[in-house]
Amino acid sequence: MCGRYYLELNSLEKEKYALNAEINYETNFNITPQSQVPIVINDELIMATWGYFPEWLKKQKNSKPLFNTRWETIKEKRTFQSAYKKNRCLVPLSGWYEWKNVNDEKHPYYFFGNEKLVHAAGLYWKRSSGDLEFSIITQDAYGDLASIHNRTPLLLSKKNEEKWIANYDVDLLYEEISENTQTLVNFHRVTKAVNNPKNKNSSLINEYTEVPF
């Protein structure tokens, strides 16, 4: 899964996306579900809420927004079928966090690519109010990533970024992206301060080191 991430404004601005409207965003090192963040739709940058929260889900007890979508079942799950066909977006990421369970204790890790900004595949939904909601697509973790957590965001190559937001045959799209889902990702352990959503500063991504006694 991907339940927290980081997006740096300067890197985002260097991409020179077209702007759908004014982007009201400041760099946040600890983005949580239901935050307002920029995503890319049809080559345009637009603000959206992280997490799809349909009315049928809100009626369920203790329900939460759907902030992740599984790549493996995206074409079969009724909740995501229509959005996969018509409402695909890119989710810019500077990095993200996952937690490793060690002896019933969770240790946070920070993940990042070789580029200062990467793009995860995403889906979006437009509500009757005009507001946008989105989810980040995840896949099975691969290589060393699987030693920390069993899921990881589906990062897209430059070529597949263009296909993902284009009017492209969805079956062919699924086949082509499934052939190229593994990108180089680095990671290191970080402080448990990231566990608190109120902490949003740059120190969160610093590598954690044990204090010698």
| CATH no. of 4-205 | 3.90.1680.10
Task: Kindly state the tokens that stand for 110.
Answer: 């920070």
* Of the candidate ranges 43-47, 50-54, 56-60, 79-83, the one whose mean pLDDT is the lowest: 56-60
Over residues 68-100, the pLDDT tens digits come to 999 999 999 999 999 999 999 999 999 999 999
Predicted model pTM: 0.94
User: How much is the average pLDDT of 134-141?
Assistant: 97
Domain ranges of the chain: 4-205
pLDDT-derived band at 212 (thresholds 50, 70, 90) equals low
Residue 80's closest CA among 155, 35, 137, 41? 137
Q: In Å, how far are 145, 156, 165, 182 from 169, measured between CA atoms?
A: 30, 17, 11, 22
Q: Which residue, 102, 98, 111, is CA-closest to 68?
A: 98
pLDDT at 20 over 80: no
pLDDT value at 213 more than 60: no
Per-residue pLDDT, 104:
87
As a whole number, mean pLDDT of residues 125-149 equals 95
Instruction: Give percent of the chain with pLDDT exceeding 70.
Output: 98
